[in-house]
């Protein structure tokens, strides 16, 4: 059966209003020595090609490259256009940090304190898949998510709230399209994850969570999905490193992943690990190994892919000739190679596939070239990409993980 809808590259061209060829990058194959790391996921895609009767879930954890939902959003649109639209997926309502965004929806709210997995302390309560726990500061605190009128990744027919029960729990209210659909107690005999879900008419919806008092109210996320197609959870936290998701509570992870078991788990870490001058490549490898082991225990049937970090540039002093003064230039960080190698080793040792983002985008010096391009493909910080740069990587990634046209 022919793929449905445009590829990610075609979507980028349409969005830019161009019909000429888009910029190209070298790309890279998925490295999978066993040939089994992505077998389950690709078998699920084959079933969707025959007819979208099942929901195939992809969970993508990572740092700011994922949190921006530019790269992941482009992959989501591409896969949903080809295999069916399974909805926006799991995300945080409200504003867990400034400029938080997720493709296909808008979010907002007030009266909550968000604790990220990068800063989590035991007293903040367990953190799960989203990497964030949001606690109501006062009765009346409201967090909402509202679907936009997008071509894909906006409509839903099931709403599911992930929250925490607690001996000191209070109460919350769930509104859907301005109608109260549930009043829930968050009180329980111990701190543990809890879930509430309801079916809704397939379409664009607004969901609000309102803390109504009486004790602690903490939420872990809202899932908006449909019964079939691709649902792509982009769960990134700014500043995240290889080791940070080890702080997630294993019972919470297993419960959240068990609600809708993923066919594929993807991780994208390493950009921030480059800053750790004291860590060795071996320490980076062990950190990611432990994170992957945690995810494998929580979702043992899922296929697994590790994305290495993209290029990252730092300022370096280059000395000229005898009469030329030294000058400062952007060069690929000398620490990056060890981080990429550690990610690859951890992936293959864990039975995961590996995709070398650094090589796919062009290797050494790419960030400098992309930042100087017109229009720019990378930001002036030489760490993050522009929408155009992320879309180029997304197109290459989508092609690599699907494995066939």
Architecture of domain 1-86+227-405: 3-Layer(aba) Sandwich (3.40)
Structure tokens at 30: 């998925």
- Give the C-alpha separation, 134 to 360, whole Å: 36
Give the mean model confidence (pLDDT) for residues 296-321: 92
**Of 312, 383, 308, nearest to 342 (Cα)?**
308
Domain regions of the chain by residue span: 1-86+227-405, 90-226
- Give the C-alpha separation, 60 to 90, whole Å: 11
**Of 13, 45, 8, nearest to 27 (Cα)?**
8
CATH number 3.30.70.100 given to 90-226: no
pLDDT band at 316 (very low <50, low <70, confident <90, very high): confident
Give the mean model confidence (pLDDT) for residues 269-286: 95
- Give the C-alpha separation, 77 to 87, whole Å: 10
Q: What's this model's pTM, rounded to 2 decimal places? A: 0.92
Q: Which long-range contacts (CB under 8 A, 24 or more apart) does 322-326 make?
A: none
State the Rg of the chain over Cα: 21
DSSP-based three-state secondary structure for 88: coil
pLDDT in tens, 18-74: 333 456 899 999 999 999 999 999 999 999 998 878 999 999 999 999 999 999 999
pLDDT in tens, 367-390: 999 999 999 999 999 999 999 999
- Is residue 244 over pLDDT 90? yes
Q: Which of 87-91, 121-125, 214-218 has the lowest mean pLDDT?
A: 121-125
């Amino acid at each position: 059966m022919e793929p449905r809808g445009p590829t990610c590259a075609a979507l980028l061209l349409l969005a830019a209003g161009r019909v000429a060829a888009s910029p190209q990058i070298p790309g890279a194959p998925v490295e999978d020595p066993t040939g089994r790391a992505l077998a389950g996921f690709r078998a699920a895609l084959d079933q969707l090609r025959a007819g979208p009767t099942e929901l195939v879930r992809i969970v993508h954890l990572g740092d700011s490259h994922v949190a921006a939902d530019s790269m992941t959003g482009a992959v989501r649109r591409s896969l949903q256009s080809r295999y069916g639209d399974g909805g926006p997926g799991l995300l945080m309502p409200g504003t867990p940090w400034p400029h938080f965004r997720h493709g296909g929806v808008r979010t907002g709210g007030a009266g909550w304190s968000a604790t990220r997995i990068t800063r989590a302390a035991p007293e903040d309560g367990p953190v799960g898949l989203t990497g964030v726990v949001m606690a109501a500061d006062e009765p009346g605190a409201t967090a909402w998510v509202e679907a936009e009128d997008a071509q894909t990744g906006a409509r839903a027919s099931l709403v599911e709230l992930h929250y925490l029960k607690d001996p000191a729990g209070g109460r919350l209210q769930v509104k859907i399209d301005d109608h109260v659909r549930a009043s829930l107690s968050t009180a329980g005999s111990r701190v543990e994850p809890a879930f509430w879900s309801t079916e809704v008419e397939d379409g664009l919806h607004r969901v609000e969570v309102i803390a109504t008092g009486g004790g602690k109210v903490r939420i872990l996320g809202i899932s908006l999905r449909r019964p079939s197609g691709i649902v792509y959870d982009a769960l990134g936290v700014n500043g995240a490193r290889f080791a940070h998701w080890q702080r997630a509570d294993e019972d919470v992870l297993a419960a959240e992943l068990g609600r809708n078991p993923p066919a594929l788990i993807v991780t994208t870490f390493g950009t921030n690990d480059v800053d750790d001058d004291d860590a060795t490549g071996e320490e980076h490898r062990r950190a990611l190994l432990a994170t992957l082991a945690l995810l494998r225990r929580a979702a043992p049937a899922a296929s697994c892919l590790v994305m290495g970090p993209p290029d990252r540039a730092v300022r370096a002093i280059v000395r000229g000739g005898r009469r030329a003064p030294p000058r400062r230039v952007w060069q690929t960080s000398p620490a990056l190679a060890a981080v990429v190698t550690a990610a690859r080793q951890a992936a293959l040792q864990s039975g995961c596939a590996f995709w070398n983002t650094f090589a796919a985008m062009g290797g050494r010096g790419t960030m400098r070239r992309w930042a100087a391009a017109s229009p720019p493909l990378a930001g002036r910080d030489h760490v993050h990409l522009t929408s155009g740069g992320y879309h180029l990587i997304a197109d290459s990634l989508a092609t690599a993980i699907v494995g066939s046209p």
